[in-house]
Amino acid sequence: MSNTSFVRNEMLPPAPPPVSQTGLVKWLRENLFAGPLNSALTVLGLGAAIWLIQAAAPWLLHSVWVADSQNECRAIVQERWGPDATGACWAIIRARWHQFLFGFYPMEEYWRLFVTFAGLLLAILPVLATSLPRKLLWGSVLYPLVAFWLLWGGSVWGPILTLAGFGLWAAVFLALQVRLGVVVAAGVGLIVAAVFWIYGVDPIETGLQSVLPFALPEVDSDQFGGFLLALVIGATAIVISLPLGILLALGRQSDMLIVKSLSVGFIEFIRGVPLITLLFTASLLLQYFLPSDTKFDLILRVVILVTFFSAAYIAEVIRGGLAALPRGQYEAADALGLDYWQAQRLIIMPQALKISIPGIVSTFIGLFKDTTLVAFVGLMDPLKGISTAVRADINWKGIYWEPYIFVAVIFFIFNFSMSRYSMYLERKLKRDHR
Protein backbone atom coordinates (compact mmCIF):
# COMPACT_ATOMS: atom_id res chain seq x y z
CA MET A 1 0.00 0.00 0.00
CA SER A 2 1.78 3.02 -1.17
CA ASN A 3 1.09 6.50 -0.16
CA THR A 4 -0.19 8.20 -3.29
CA SER A 5 -1.48 11.36 -1.73
CA PHE A 6 -0.53 14.41 -3.73
CA VAL A 7 0.44 17.66 -2.32
CA ARG A 8 0.95 20.54 -4.71
CA ASN A 9 3.87 22.54 -3.61
CA GLU A 10 4.03 25.23 -6.23
CA MET A 11 1.37 27.72 -7.38
CA LEU A 12 -0.42 27.36 -10.73
CA PRO A 13 0.88 29.95 -13.19
CA PRO A 14 -1.64 32.76 -13.64
CA ALA A 15 -3.77 32.12 -16.76
CA PRO A 16 -5.54 34.75 -18.85
CA PRO A 17 -9.28 34.94 -18.16
CA PRO A 18 -11.46 32.83 -20.46
CA VAL A 19 -12.26 34.43 -23.80
CA SER A 20 -15.91 34.76 -22.90
CA GLN A 21 -15.11 36.85 -19.85
CA THR A 22 -12.90 39.50 -21.29
CA GLY A 23 -12.67 42.35 -23.72
CA LEU A 24 -14.99 42.76 -26.63
CA VAL A 25 -16.58 39.32 -26.32
CA LYS A 26 -17.58 39.95 -22.71
CA TRP A 27 -19.00 43.33 -23.62
CA LEU A 28 -20.96 41.86 -26.51
CA ARG A 29 -22.28 39.01 -24.37
CA GLU A 30 -23.32 41.29 -21.56
CA ASN A 31 -24.76 44.11 -23.61
CA LEU A 32 -26.01 42.70 -26.88
CA PHE A 33 -26.50 38.92 -26.54
CA ALA A 34 -27.45 38.45 -22.88
CA GLY A 35 -30.28 36.06 -23.71
CA PRO A 36 -32.48 34.86 -26.56
CA LEU A 37 -34.71 37.95 -26.40
CA ASN A 38 -31.77 40.35 -26.28
CA SER A 39 -30.03 38.54 -29.11
CA ALA A 40 -33.13 38.73 -31.27
CA LEU A 41 -33.58 42.43 -30.55
CA THR A 42 -29.92 43.08 -31.36
CA VAL A 43 -30.20 41.35 -34.71
CA LEU A 44 -33.40 43.23 -35.51
CA GLY A 45 -31.90 46.58 -34.48
CA LEU A 46 -28.78 45.94 -36.49
CA GLY A 47 -30.86 45.03 -39.49
CA ALA A 48 -32.88 48.23 -39.20
CA ALA A 49 -29.73 50.33 -38.84
CA ILE A 50 -28.10 48.73 -41.86
CA TRP A 51 -31.24 49.19 -43.91
CA LEU A 52 -31.42 52.88 -42.95
CA ILE A 53 -27.78 53.49 -43.74
CA GLN A 54 -28.07 51.64 -47.01
CA ALA A 55 -31.03 53.77 -47.99
CA ALA A 56 -29.62 57.12 -46.92
CA ALA A 57 -25.85 56.81 -47.32
CA PRO A 58 -25.62 56.94 -51.13
CA TRP A 59 -28.03 59.84 -51.16
CA LEU A 60 -25.95 61.73 -48.59
CA LEU A 61 -22.63 60.79 -50.18
CA HIS A 62 -23.83 62.09 -53.54
CA SER A 63 -24.44 65.57 -52.16
CA VAL A 64 -24.29 68.54 -54.46
CA TRP A 65 -23.49 71.91 -52.94
CA VAL A 66 -23.11 74.19 -55.91
CA ALA A 67 -25.93 74.44 -58.42
CA ASP A 68 -28.54 76.95 -59.55
CA SER A 69 -31.54 74.65 -59.63
CA GLN A 70 -32.73 71.19 -58.79
CA ASN A 71 -32.42 70.09 -62.38
CA GLU A 72 -28.79 71.20 -62.40
CA CYS A 73 -28.24 69.23 -59.17
CA ARG A 74 -29.69 66.16 -60.84
CA ALA A 75 -27.54 66.59 -63.91
CA ILE A 76 -24.40 66.88 -61.77
CA VAL A 77 -25.30 63.78 -59.73
CA GLN A 78 -25.94 61.76 -62.87
CA GLU A 79 -22.78 62.96 -64.50
CA ARG A 80 -20.60 62.07 -61.51
CA TRP A 81 -22.20 58.92 -60.19
CA GLY A 82 -24.04 57.34 -63.09
CA PRO A 83 -27.47 57.76 -64.63
CA ASP A 84 -29.40 56.03 -61.82
CA ALA A 85 -27.74 57.80 -58.91
CA THR A 86 -29.73 60.03 -56.59
CA GLY A 87 -28.16 62.65 -54.41
CA ALA A 88 -28.96 65.33 -51.89
CA CYS A 89 -29.21 68.81 -53.37
CA TRP A 90 -27.84 71.07 -50.65
CA ALA A 91 -27.53 73.84 -53.18
CA ILE A 92 -31.00 74.94 -52.04
CA ILE A 93 -29.55 75.63 -48.58
CA ARG A 94 -26.53 77.35 -50.06
CA ALA A 95 -28.79 79.61 -52.13
CA ARG A 96 -31.37 80.35 -49.47
CA TRP A 97 -29.70 79.74 -46.08
CA HIS A 98 -30.13 83.37 -45.17
CA GLN A 99 -33.88 83.07 -45.54
CA PHE A 100 -34.01 79.97 -43.37
CA LEU A 101 -32.06 81.82 -40.69
CA PHE A 102 -33.29 85.42 -40.98
CA GLY A 103 -36.44 85.37 -43.10
CA PHE A 104 -36.75 88.43 -45.29
CA TYR A 105 -34.78 90.76 -43.05
CA PRO A 106 -33.00 93.31 -45.29
CA MET A 107 -29.54 92.00 -46.12
CA GLU A 108 -27.72 95.27 -45.53
CA GLU A 109 -29.04 95.23 -41.94
CA TYR A 110 -27.81 91.73 -41.09
CA TRP A 111 -25.11 93.17 -38.83
CA ARG A 112 -27.87 94.16 -36.44
CA LEU A 113 -28.90 90.52 -36.11
CA PHE A 114 -25.34 89.43 -35.40
CA VAL A 115 -24.96 92.15 -32.78
CA THR A 116 -28.29 91.16 -31.23
CA PHE A 117 -27.35 87.50 -31.11
CA ALA A 118 -23.91 88.21 -29.65
CA GLY A 119 -25.65 90.44 -27.13
CA LEU A 120 -28.05 87.63 -26.29
CA LEU A 121 -25.15 85.33 -25.49
CA LEU A 122 -23.49 88.05 -23.36
CA ALA A 123 -26.79 88.77 -21.61
CA ILE A 124 -27.54 85.19 -20.66
CA LEU A 125 -23.98 84.51 -19.52
CA PRO A 126 -24.38 86.14 -16.08
CA VAL A 127 -27.72 84.33 -15.70
CA LEU A 128 -26.26 80.94 -16.53
CA ALA A 129 -22.87 81.19 -14.83
CA THR A 130 -23.27 82.25 -11.21
CA SER A 131 -19.53 82.79 -10.73
CA LEU A 132 -19.66 86.10 -12.61
CA PRO A 133 -20.20 89.33 -10.67
CA ARG A 134 -23.91 89.81 -9.91
CA LYS A 135 -23.86 93.42 -11.09
CA LEU A 136 -23.66 92.15 -14.67
CA LEU A 137 -27.27 91.01 -14.27
CA TRP A 138 -28.39 94.61 -14.77
CA GLY A 139 -27.03 94.34 -18.28
CA SER A 140 -29.16 91.26 -18.84
CA VAL A 141 -32.22 93.14 -17.59
CA LEU A 142 -31.59 96.01 -20.01
CA TYR A 143 -30.81 93.71 -22.92
CA PRO A 144 -34.41 93.13 -24.15
CA LEU A 145 -34.87 96.85 -24.86
CA VAL A 146 -31.56 97.04 -26.70
CA ALA A 147 -32.46 93.93 -28.69
CA PHE A 148 -35.88 95.35 -29.51
CA TRP A 149 -34.35 98.54 -30.82
CA LEU A 150 -31.70 96.70 -32.83
CA LEU A 151 -34.17 94.28 -34.40
CA TRP A 152 -36.99 96.62 -35.29
CA GLY A 153 -35.02 99.84 -35.59
CA GLY A 154 -36.57 103.27 -35.39
CA SER A 155 -35.73 106.07 -33.01
CA VAL A 156 -33.48 105.20 -30.09
CA TRP A 157 -35.69 107.32 -27.83
CA GLY A 158 -38.58 104.86 -27.94
CA PRO A 159 -36.82 102.12 -25.95
CA ILE A 160 -35.21 104.69 -23.64
CA LEU A 161 -38.59 106.21 -22.80
CA THR A 162 -40.08 102.73 -22.35
CA LEU A 163 -37.28 102.09 -19.90
CA ALA A 164 -38.08 105.38 -18.18
CA GLY A 165 -41.60 104.02 -17.73
CA PHE A 166 -40.19 101.03 -15.89
CA GLY A 167 -38.11 103.43 -13.80
CA LEU A 168 -41.29 105.32 -12.95
CA TRP A 169 -42.93 102.05 -11.97
CA ALA A 170 -40.01 101.17 -9.70
CA ALA A 171 -39.98 104.64 -8.12
CA VAL A 172 -43.71 104.54 -7.34
CA PHE A 173 -43.32 101.02 -6.00
CA LEU A 174 -40.47 101.96 -3.66
CA ALA A 175 -42.26 105.07 -2.44
CA LEU A 176 -45.52 103.29 -1.64
CA GLN A 177 -44.33 99.81 -0.68
CA VAL A 178 -43.98 100.53 3.04
CA ARG A 179 -47.39 102.16 3.35
CA LEU A 180 -49.51 100.06 0.97
CA GLY A 181 -47.75 96.69 0.77
CA VAL A 182 -46.12 94.91 -2.14
CA VAL A 183 -49.11 94.08 -4.30
CA VAL A 184 -50.97 97.40 -4.12
CA ALA A 185 -47.77 99.39 -4.62
CA ALA A 186 -46.88 97.32 -7.68
CA GLY A 187 -50.39 97.82 -9.05
CA VAL A 188 -50.38 101.60 -8.58
CA GLY A 189 -46.89 101.73 -10.13
CA LEU A 190 -48.12 99.78 -13.13
CA ILE A 191 -51.02 102.17 -13.66
CA VAL A 192 -48.74 105.21 -13.49
CA ALA A 193 -46.29 103.60 -15.90
CA ALA A 194 -49.07 102.58 -18.29
CA VAL A 195 -50.44 106.13 -18.38
CA PHE A 196 -46.92 107.33 -19.17
CA TRP A 197 -46.48 104.72 -21.91
CA ILE A 198 -49.79 105.50 -23.56
CA TYR A 199 -49.88 109.29 -23.37
CA GLY A 200 -46.31 110.36 -22.59
CA VAL A 201 -43.99 108.36 -24.78
CA ASP A 202 -45.11 109.46 -28.24
CA PRO A 203 -44.97 113.25 -27.86
CA ILE A 204 -41.73 113.15 -25.86
CA GLU A 205 -40.18 110.76 -28.39
CA THR A 206 -41.09 113.05 -31.28
CA GLY A 207 -39.66 116.00 -29.39
CA LEU A 208 -36.39 114.29 -28.49
CA GLN A 209 -36.02 112.88 -31.96
CA SER A 210 -36.20 116.36 -33.46
CA VAL A 211 -33.56 117.64 -31.05
CA LEU A 212 -31.22 114.65 -31.02
CA PRO A 213 -32.02 112.50 -34.03
CA PHE A 214 -30.53 109.04 -33.66
CA ALA A 215 -32.31 106.19 -35.36
CA LEU A 216 -31.80 102.91 -37.20
CA PRO A 217 -33.78 102.15 -40.36
CA GLU A 218 -37.07 100.56 -39.37
CA VAL A 219 -37.66 96.92 -40.22
CA ASP A 220 -41.24 95.75 -40.49
CA SER A 221 -42.45 92.69 -38.60
CA ASP A 222 -43.46 90.85 -41.74
CA GLN A 223 -39.82 90.81 -42.81
CA PHE A 224 -39.01 88.58 -39.85
CA GLY A 225 -38.87 84.88 -40.52
CA GLY A 226 -36.95 81.67 -40.16
CA PHE A 227 -34.96 81.05 -37.03
CA LEU A 228 -34.91 84.77 -36.29
CA LEU A 229 -38.67 84.58 -35.81
CA ALA A 230 -38.44 81.33 -33.82
CA LEU A 231 -35.81 82.88 -31.54
CA VAL A 232 -37.67 86.17 -31.09
CA ILE A 233 -40.89 84.37 -30.14
CA GLY A 234 -39.15 81.62 -28.19
CA ALA A 235 -36.72 83.77 -26.23
CA THR A 236 -39.30 86.44 -25.37
CA ALA A 237 -41.84 83.87 -24.27
CA ILE A 238 -39.25 81.97 -22.22
CA VAL A 239 -38.02 85.09 -20.45
CA ILE A 240 -41.48 86.43 -19.61
CA SER A 241 -43.25 83.15 -18.91
CA LEU A 242 -40.94 82.10 -16.06
CA PRO A 243 -41.75 85.01 -13.72
CA LEU A 244 -45.37 84.94 -14.87
CA GLY A 245 -45.52 81.20 -14.17
CA ILE A 246 -44.04 81.70 -10.70
CA LEU A 247 -46.68 84.32 -9.90
CA LEU A 248 -49.44 82.04 -11.20
CA ALA A 249 -48.15 79.09 -9.17
CA LEU A 250 -48.10 81.25 -6.04
CA GLY A 251 -51.52 82.61 -6.90
CA ARG A 252 -52.89 79.12 -7.20
CA GLN A 253 -51.64 78.30 -3.70
CA SER A 254 -52.85 81.57 -2.25
CA ASP A 255 -55.48 81.81 0.50
CA MET A 256 -57.07 84.84 -1.16
CA LEU A 257 -60.19 83.69 -2.98
CA ILE A 258 -60.08 86.06 -5.96
CA VAL A 259 -56.36 85.64 -6.61
CA LYS A 260 -56.72 81.91 -6.33
CA SER A 261 -59.74 81.57 -8.60
CA LEU A 262 -58.26 83.90 -11.22
CA SER A 263 -55.03 81.90 -11.27
CA VAL A 264 -56.80 78.55 -11.41
CA GLY A 265 -59.16 79.82 -14.11
CA PHE A 266 -56.31 81.19 -16.22
CA ILE A 267 -54.15 78.09 -15.90
CA GLU A 268 -56.95 75.62 -16.57
CA PHE A 269 -58.37 77.63 -19.47
CA ILE A 270 -55.03 77.99 -21.23
CA ARG A 271 -54.05 74.39 -20.64
CA GLY A 272 -57.42 73.19 -21.83
CA VAL A 273 -57.12 74.87 -25.23
CA PRO A 274 -54.75 73.81 -28.03
CA LEU A 275 -52.00 76.30 -28.91
CA ILE A 276 -53.25 76.51 -32.49
CA THR A 277 -56.61 77.77 -31.26
CA LEU A 278 -54.83 80.52 -29.34
CA LEU A 279 -52.76 81.39 -32.40
CA PHE A 280 -55.86 81.68 -34.57
CA THR A 281 -57.39 83.87 -31.89
CA ALA A 282 -54.31 86.06 -31.99
CA SER A 283 -54.24 86.30 -35.73
CA LEU A 284 -57.92 86.47 -36.67
CA LEU A 285 -60.23 87.26 -33.77
CA LEU A 286 -58.29 90.12 -32.23
CA GLN A 287 -58.36 92.04 -35.48
CA TYR A 288 -62.17 92.18 -35.35
CA PHE A 289 -62.03 94.04 -32.04
CA LEU A 290 -59.43 96.52 -33.18
CA PRO A 291 -60.12 99.50 -35.40
CA SER A 292 -59.21 98.61 -38.97
CA ASP A 293 -56.42 101.14 -39.24
CA THR A 294 -54.50 100.06 -36.14
CA LYS A 295 -51.41 98.06 -36.82
CA PHE A 296 -51.32 95.76 -33.81
CA ASP A 297 -48.34 93.75 -34.79
CA LEU A 298 -48.98 90.07 -35.55
CA ILE A 299 -45.67 88.93 -34.04
CA LEU A 300 -46.48 90.77 -30.82
CA ARG A 301 -49.95 89.21 -30.70
CA VAL A 302 -48.45 85.76 -31.19
CA VAL A 303 -45.72 86.37 -28.60
CA ILE A 304 -48.32 87.39 -26.02
CA LEU A 305 -50.40 84.26 -26.50
CA VAL A 306 -47.42 81.90 -26.69
CA THR A 307 -46.19 83.47 -23.43
CA PHE A 308 -49.55 82.89 -21.76
CA PHE A 309 -49.55 79.34 -23.00
CA SER A 310 -46.11 78.57 -21.66
CA ALA A 311 -46.74 80.44 -18.37
CA ALA A 312 -49.69 78.17 -17.60
CA TYR A 313 -47.52 75.08 -18.02
CA ILE A 314 -44.62 76.60 -16.06
CA ALA A 315 -47.04 77.44 -13.24
CA GLU A 316 -48.04 73.80 -12.93
CA VAL A 317 -44.43 72.61 -13.06
CA ILE A 318 -43.50 75.02 -10.28
CA ARG A 319 -46.56 74.03 -8.26
CA GLY A 320 -45.13 70.52 -8.36
CA GLY A 321 -41.88 71.88 -6.95
CA LEU A 322 -43.75 73.76 -4.21
CA ALA A 323 -45.72 70.66 -3.31
CA ALA A 324 -42.51 68.67 -2.94
CA LEU A 325 -41.18 71.03 -0.25
CA PRO A 326 -41.74 69.75 3.30
CA ARG A 327 -44.15 71.78 5.41
CA GLY A 328 -41.27 72.46 7.82
CA GLN A 329 -39.61 74.81 5.34
CA TYR A 330 -42.64 77.14 5.39
CA GLU A 331 -42.81 76.95 9.18
CA ALA A 332 -39.11 77.64 9.50
CA ALA A 333 -39.54 80.76 7.38
CA ASP A 334 -42.41 81.89 9.60
CA ALA A 335 -40.35 81.17 12.71
CA LEU A 336 -37.59 83.43 11.40
CA GLY A 337 -40.10 86.26 11.18
CA LEU A 338 -39.91 86.62 7.39
CA ASP A 339 -42.92 88.07 5.62
CA TYR A 340 -44.55 86.27 2.69
CA TRP A 341 -42.40 87.71 -0.12
CA GLN A 342 -39.18 87.40 1.86
CA ALA A 343 -39.95 83.78 2.66
CA GLN A 344 -40.70 83.05 -0.99
CA ARG A 345 -37.58 84.81 -2.20
CA LEU A 346 -35.11 83.45 0.33
CA ILE A 347 -36.38 80.02 1.31
CA ILE A 348 -39.22 78.58 -0.73
CA MET A 349 -38.50 79.54 -4.34
CA PRO A 350 -34.80 78.62 -4.46
CA GLN A 351 -35.69 75.10 -3.39
CA ALA A 352 -38.89 74.75 -5.41
CA LEU A 353 -37.21 76.03 -8.58
CA LYS A 354 -34.29 73.66 -8.10
CA ILE A 355 -36.67 70.71 -7.93
CA SER A 356 -38.55 71.98 -11.00
CA ILE A 357 -35.54 72.49 -13.28
CA PRO A 358 -36.09 69.43 -15.50
CA GLY A 359 -39.77 70.24 -15.91
CA ILE A 360 -39.13 73.92 -16.62
CA VAL A 361 -36.47 73.20 -19.22
CA SER A 362 -38.55 70.60 -20.98
CA THR A 363 -41.44 73.08 -21.11
CA PHE A 364 -39.06 75.62 -22.67
CA ILE A 365 -37.79 73.12 -25.21
CA GLY A 366 -41.37 72.26 -26.13
CA LEU A 367 -42.19 75.95 -26.40
CA PHE A 368 -39.24 76.61 -28.69
CA LYS A 369 -40.30 73.81 -31.00
CA ASP A 370 -43.93 74.94 -30.86
CA THR A 371 -42.91 78.26 -32.42
CA THR A 372 -43.05 76.46 -35.77
CA LEU A 373 -46.84 76.32 -35.36
CA VAL A 374 -47.02 80.03 -36.22
CA ALA A 375 -46.90 78.86 -39.85
CA PHE A 376 -50.64 78.29 -39.52
CA VAL A 377 -51.28 81.99 -39.11
CA GLY A 378 -49.11 82.91 -42.07
CA LEU A 379 -45.88 83.76 -40.26
CA MET A 380 -42.70 82.53 -41.89
CA ASP A 381 -41.46 79.88 -39.49
CA PRO A 382 -38.34 77.99 -40.60
CA LEU A 383 -39.95 74.57 -40.96
CA LYS A 384 -43.07 75.17 -43.04
CA GLY A 385 -43.30 78.87 -43.87
CA ILE A 386 -39.83 79.41 -45.31
CA SER A 387 -39.65 75.91 -46.79
CA THR A 388 -42.90 76.47 -48.69
CA ALA A 389 -41.79 79.89 -49.87
CA VAL A 390 -38.43 78.57 -51.06
CA ARG A 391 -39.96 75.53 -52.74
CA ALA A 392 -42.36 77.78 -54.62
CA ASP A 393 -39.36 78.95 -56.65
CA ILE A 394 -39.53 76.84 -59.81
CA ASN A 395 -35.79 76.18 -59.48
CA TRP A 396 -36.22 74.45 -56.14
CA LYS A 397 -39.70 73.01 -56.50
CA GLY A 398 -39.84 69.33 -55.65
CA ILE A 399 -36.92 69.34 -53.21
CA TYR A 400 -38.32 67.64 -50.16
CA TRP A 401 -35.94 66.35 -47.51
CA GLU A 402 -33.06 68.81 -47.57
CA PRO A 403 -34.81 71.84 -46.02
CA TYR A 404 -36.36 69.65 -43.33
CA ILE A 405 -33.01 68.09 -42.44
CA PHE A 406 -31.29 71.48 -42.32
CA VAL A 407 -33.96 72.95 -40.03
CA ALA A 408 -34.02 69.84 -37.84
CA VAL A 409 -30.26 69.98 -37.30
CA ILE A 410 -30.42 73.60 -36.15
CA PHE A 411 -33.34 72.90 -33.83
CA PHE A 412 -31.43 69.95 -32.41
CA ILE A 413 -28.41 72.11 -31.63
CA PHE A 414 -30.53 74.65 -29.74
CA ASN A 415 -32.57 72.10 -27.82
CA PHE A 416 -29.68 69.79 -27.02
CA SER A 417 -27.72 72.71 -25.55
CA MET A 418 -30.70 73.67 -23.39
CA SER A 419 -31.06 70.12 -22.19
CA ARG A 420 -27.34 69.76 -21.42
CA TYR A 421 -27.33 73.04 -19.53
CA SER A 422 -30.23 71.93 -17.37
CA MET A 423 -28.39 68.72 -16.47
CA TYR A 424 -25.30 70.72 -15.55
CA LEU A 425 -27.42 73.02 -13.40
CA GLU A 426 -29.02 70.08 -11.61
CA ARG A 427 -25.64 68.59 -10.76
CA LYS A 428 -24.29 71.92 -9.61
CA LEU A 429 -27.24 72.68 -7.36
CA LYS A 430 -27.35 69.23 -5.85
CA ARG A 431 -27.27 69.70 -2.07
CA ASP A 432 -28.43 66.33 -0.74
CA HIS A 433 -26.42 63.15 -0.43
CA ARG A 434 -28.70 60.77 -2.26
Partner 1 sequence: MKKSVFFGSLVLAGLAAGVAGASTLDDVKARGELICGVNPGLTGFAAPDANGNYQGFDVAVCKAVAAAVLGDPMKVKYVPLTGETRFTALASGEVDMLSRNSTWTFSRDTELALDFVAVNYYDGQGFMVNKNLGVSSAKELDGATICIQTGTTTELNLADYFKANNMSYTPVNIADDAEGQQKFLAGACDSYTTDASGLAASRATMPNADEIVILPEIISKEPLGPAVRHGDNNWGDVVRWSFYALVAAEEYGVTKANLEEVAATTMNPEIKRLLGLEGDMGAKIGLDNDFAKRAILAVGNYGEVFEANIGASTSIGLARGLNAQWTQGGLMYAPPFR
Sites of contact with partner 1 (CB under 8 A): 70-71, 74, 95-96, 99, 103-107, 148, 152, 154, 158-159, 162, 194, 197-198, 201-202, 205, 218, 220-223, 280, 283-284, 286-297, 300, 375-378, 380, 385, 387-395, 397-398, 400
Instruction: List the alpha helices (DSSP H) in 181-212.
Output: 182-195, 201-211
Shortest Å distance, C-beta 284 to partner 1: 4
* Residue 82 CB, nearest approach to partner 1 (Å): 14
Nearer to partner 1, 99 or 263 (CB): 99
CB 239 to partner 1: min, Å = 17
The distance of closest approach from Cβ of residue 168 to partner 1 in the complex, given in angstroms and rounded to an integer, is: 14
Nearer to partner 1, 6 or 289 (CB): 289
CA distances from 347 to 246, 325, 338 (A): 14, 10, 10
CA-to-CA distance for 310 and 371, rounded, in angstroms? 11
Q: Residues with Cβ < 8 Å from 206, sequence gap 6 or more?
A: none
Report in angstroms how near the CB of residue 143 gets to partner 1 at its nearest: 16
* Smallest separation, CB 377 to partner 1 (Å): 6
Residue 18 burial (CB count, 10 A): 9
Nearer to partner 1, 209 or 419 (CB): 209
Residue 207: count of CB within 10 angstroms of its CB: 11
- Residue number with CB closer to partner 1 (287 or 351): 287
CA distance 351 to 362: 18
Write the single-letter amino acid at 366: G
Give the nearer residue to partner 1 in terms of CB position, either 235 or 379: 379
92 vs 108: CA distance, rounded Å:
22
**Which helix (H) or strand (E) segment is 163 a member of?**
helix 157-180
The nearest distance, CB 140 to partner 1, in angstroms, is 20
- Residue 349 or residue 380: which is nearer to partner 1 going by CB? 380
CA 265 to CA 271: how far, in whole Å? 10
Residue number with CB closer to partner 1 (263 or 283): 283
The total number of residues shown for the chain amounts to 434
Long-range contacts of 422-427 (CB under 8 A, 24+ apart): 422/357, 422/358, 422/360, 422/361, 425/357, 426/354, 426/357, 426/358
Q: Which is nearer to partner 1, 266 or 364 (CB)?
A: 266
How far apart (Å, rounded) are the C-alpha atoms in residues 355 and 320?
8
**Beta carbons of 127 and 253 less than 8 angstroms apart:** no
CB of 65 to partner 1, least distance (A): 16
Please provide residue 217's backbone torsions phi and psi, each rounded to the nearest 5 degrees: -60, 135
Least gap, CB of 434 to partner 1 (angstroms)? 47
Comparing CB distances to partner 1, the nearer of 105 and 266 is 105
Instruction: Please state, in angstroms and rounded to a whole number, the distance separating the CA atoms of residues 234 and 356.
Output: 20
